[in-house]
Amino acid sequence: MKDKTILITGASSGIGWATAEAFSKQGARLILCGRRKEKLESLAHQLKTETLILTFDVRDRKAVFETLDKLPKDWVNIDVLINNAGNAHGLDPVQTANIEDWEAMIDGNVKGLMYVTKALLPGMIKSRKGHIINLGSIAGKEVYPNGSVYCSSKFAVDAFTQGLRIDLNKEGIKVGAIHPGLVQTEFSEVRFKGDRARAAKVYEGIQALSAQDVADAILYMAQTPDQVNVADLVLLPTRQANAYISNRES
């Protein structure tokens, strides 16, 4: 990874943050993207390698294209794009769910990921190299109760990844996705709108994955030899069998 250029969306927390740390330890230069400038600055401050901070919201189509079309010259050749930005908002049945929550999930997890990808593809195609790693979820493989729209958004990430791999097959660009199960981050706190007690329950007695565990797997995906592409990686805590079955310590 030495001197490779890695762009990470959603780098200001959780998996994105841990991924930046993991790649930096391997000598990579990092483009850290997110909405929270101060967080990105404090991350950049800790990293030993060169960084570029880009503050924008992936949901803002104009901002995505304007920012990524004008990358500084030294940063235009991106080796790995890690489409990590995304969130869950709410855990409710369709009939009572909040439509704003739906918009936020579809706009960020699906459309945002597509915008960032589309904005960076011309550069990757021109240089005939690159690797796109999308953050899916076990929720993109199995639908669970009250998760219809979050799961839809992650099924879309899975479908988009497969389609992108087909479309880029002739371009020499690798495309893959990682689908984590329960990862202990701010994820549930955001989903439950700041209700920490409810968020903590999600991870009780399960030994959830850490952001670092996921980052290590992403690093593995990015480090395979040229002829190897990890197309689809489902990463679960050992105690989690699938989206619904977990062996929780009582």
List residues with catalytic annotation: 150
Largest CA distance in the chain: 55
- Residue 181 sits in the site that holds ligand 8X3 (CB under 6 A): yes
DSSP 8-state class, residue 177:
E
CB of 182 to ligand 8X3, least distance (A): 6
Stretch binding ligand 8X3 (CB under 6 A), from 3-11, 41-49, 137-145, 192-200? 137-145
CB of 115 to ligand 8X3, least distance (A): 20
**Nearest CA-CA partner of 168 in 117, 102, 209:** 117
The residue within the footprint of ligand 8X3, chosen from 54, 113, 138, 164 (CB under 6 A), is: 138
Helix (H) or strand (E) holding 179: strand 174-180
> Which long-range contacts does 41-46 make (Cβ < 8 Å, 24+ apart)?
43/11, 43/12, 43/17, 46/21
Stretch binding ligand 8X3 (CB under 6 A), from 66-74, 75-83, 96-104, 131-139? 131-139
Secondary structure string (H, E, C) spanning 118-165 = HHHHHHHHHHCCCEEEEECCHHHCCCCCCCHHHHHHHHHHHHHHHHHH
Nearer to ligand 8X3, 32 or 157 (CB): 157
- Residue 243 sits in the site that holds ligand 8X3 (CB under 6 A): yes
- Residue 235 to residue 181: CA distance in whole angstroms: 6
- Residue 58 sits in the site that holds ligand 8X3 (CB under 6 A): no
- Residue 114 to residue 120: CA distance in whole angstroms: 10
- Residue 137 sits in the site that holds ligand 8X3 (CB under 6 A): yes
- Residue 139 sits in the site that holds ligand 8X3 (CB under 6 A): yes
The residue within the footprint of ligand 8X3, chosen from 182, 208, 222, 230 (CB under 6 A), is: 182
Residue nearest to ligand 8X3 according to CB distances in the complex: 137
Stretch binding ligand 8X3 (CB under 6 A), from 61-69, 76-84, 132-140, 207-215? 132-140
Cβ-proximal residues to 111 (8 Å cutoff; 6+ apart), any chain = 59, 61
Angle at 204 between CA 198 and CA 205, to 5 degrees: 165
Nearer to ligand 8X3, 219 or 243 (CB): 243
CB of 222 to ligand 8X3, least distance (A): 20
Stretch binding ligand 8X3 (CB under 6 A), from 13-21, 44-52, 135-143, 208-216? 135-143
